[in-house]
Structure 1
Amino acid sequence: MNHGASSSHRLKSPQSGSACTDPTCCGLITAHHGVEVEVVFTTGKRRMVRVKRSSGHVVGDDVEVAGEMLRRLPRRTELRRRDGGGGIHLVAANLDVLGIVVALNSSPGFIDRAIVAARVAQLQPFVVVNKCDLDDTAALLADLHRIYADSLPVFAISAMDRTGLAPLQAFLNQGHRGVFVGSSGVGKSSLLNALCPEINLKVGKVSDHNGLGRHTTTVSTLHPLSGGGELVDTPGFRDFGLVDILAEELAIHFPGFEEHGEVSCRFRNCRHRTEPGCAITKLVESGQIPADRYAVYLKLLGEVEADQSEARSKGWKN
């Protein structure tokens, strides 16, 4: 899936098997402005098409355009998130990687929620530790390497100083289409500016009051990388709630548990809490899985079970 030099600025064409054969009407949504979207056609031409705010179209969607009619083609993947108010938002479509950007002021639990959401959505997660030019970040980086390095890629960078970017660029240049998520203030816009200098995103200052950055992006856009691959820039958000995640999926995808794949629980749908014959709880007792990581898992498990219970209750009422 690598891009050659000749295609470094060319956006991915609609996926094979999409049943779109006319290059004059087949395209890709590269920007969403609320009531209209920008479509880049396979011919290279661009056009704005009006849509309803509730149309459900997102950046990354492959589409067919006929006049003012927009037809969405089947998606390979989609990434959704739940905000602090319980609302569900579709972030982007047809992604294959999810970059989780963190810094000293990141929200607790954000990384694990995002990793599980990515894996359930069939995306490869990776962690980007930004602001590594700050001395205080060294301890954070060491801790994140301890927790996640055996589970997924971890990149240490300073977007402001443009240091440590080469390994991250090489990873993205493998033809990936990805998106960065992260609490406000971690430097997502600075990172995108470093990777895509031509887009020149506005960088918000961190608030002295609460340590959080101001949201600087209001329009979702897709950008090609010079060496291959694409990045979607989305409006910033301060949380990443799990959406429609089953307890059994959390038990499978929680980072750190997969390292012990050679052991198995007695029950296939084990939630790793009090079930007899649970391999995970035995590993916790023996110290092979740290107690603090198991505590994080149990907290997320409680959230997921509460969501499932609420969903069932709403279903019964309907």
Structure 2
Amino acid sequence: MVQGRIIKGIGGFYYVDTKQGLYECKARGIFRKKKITPLVGDMVDISIVDDKNKKGVIEDIHDRDSELIRPPISNVTKAIIVFAVKNPKPNLSLLDRFIVLAEKEGLNVVICISKVDLDDDNYLEEIKSIYGSSYNIIPVSNKLNIGIDEIKEELKNNISVFAGPSGVGKSSLLNSIDSNLKLEVGQISEKVKRGKHTTRHAQLIRLEEGGLVADTPGFSSLSLDEIEAIDLKEYFIEFRELSSECKFYKNCLHENEPDCQVKKALEEGTISRYRYDSYIQLLHEIRDRKRRY
């Protein structure tokens, strides 16, 4: 057996990076029977079928430390969530969804705000006022070479996923981070101001300065199907420390309960009104889904 990591999966073939080179592999039928799908990022054991042509078969999948549903990648340690100040216009509700899903998997979250050279409305400062107390926010401009070194430092010794809607410059940013990548860069549609999809499948890329990074397809909506209403508050990190002081502690949803420390902090202005309203919106969405199904 040879151990390696799946760095790309496409059309039922999995490309496994090992110390002996890159092998194109199929997965044993037993995985399909058990309804287990190998994921990019999985550590696997493979048997060699044709060493000359680098062909193999995936025999075993190691336990996963984390698993993202969309994009489908395992064992990620850090999420670089990329949003632009404009073109396309930022959707902070979507940003909160990315954050919630990353927090659910225990990932270290970094918020990257791209195209800051276009920030005529000082939108970066608004984002910092909402998220800056909880997350590292890195302003980036590929055009002006701003923030590239900071992102490189975040990527070192991590398996990182770049996530965010289409057109915000994820592929351009990766090209700036590692000049050897030469990833395809999409154009912004003038009609709808959204990016055209360029990345068709998730794959892990080894960076020259260390670390693995996934360039993933951009998308504009995220489902919270796997999250229960009672758990949502755990993924708003501003609430965590305060929650232990609530009268109903673990059962407090920070909505209508008495002696809620989160609502008290909201009234005192120490918690962002926007973040609280976003939490309530997502809470209602989860409840409505449960009632329908």
Please classify the TM superposition score into its range, dividing by the shorter chain length.
0.7 to 0.9
**Partner of residue 63, structure 2:** 74
CA RMSD of aligned residues (A): 2.1
TM-score (norm 1): 0.80
Note closer, same or farther for the CA distance 1:183–1:276 as it changes in structure 2 (3 Å cut).
same
Q: Larger relative CO (CA 8 A, sep 6+): 1 or 2?
A: 1
Matches for 1:85-234 after TM superposition, within 5 Å: 91-103=72-84, 104=86, 105-136=89-120, 139-173=122-156, 175-234=157-216
C-alpha distance in 1 between matches for 2:134 and 2:273? 17
2:7 maps to 1:30: yes
Q: Which of structure 1's runs of 4+ aligned residues deviate more than 6 A?
A: none
For residues 294 and 122 of structure 1, what CA distance do their matches in structure 2 show? 21
Unaligned runs of 5+ in 2: 50-55
Question: C-alpha separation between the residues in 2 aligned to 1:301 and 1:262?
Answer: 16
2:38 counterpart of 1:50 = no
Deviation at 1:263, TM superposition (A): 6.2
CA shift in 2, pair 1:44/1:261, >3 Å: farther
Matches within 5 A, 1:237-256: 237-256=219-238
Same amino acid, percent of matched pairs = 32
SS at match of 2:205: strand
Paired residues in the alignment total 276
* Contact 1:147-1:256 within 8 A present in 2 as well: no
**Is the Cα–Cα contact under 8 Å of residues 272 and 278 in structure 1 kept in the other structure?**
yes
Distance 1:92 1:154 in 2: 23
Paired with 1:27 and 1:293, the residues of 2 have a C-alpha distance of 41
Cα distance, 1:181 vs structure 2: 0.7
Q: Contact between 1:78 and 1:93, CA under 8 Å: does it hold in 2? A: yes
- Distance (Å, rounded) in 2 between the aligned partners of 1:117 and 1:284: 23
Q: 1:153, CA displacement in angstroms?
A: 0.8
TM-score by length of 2: 0.87
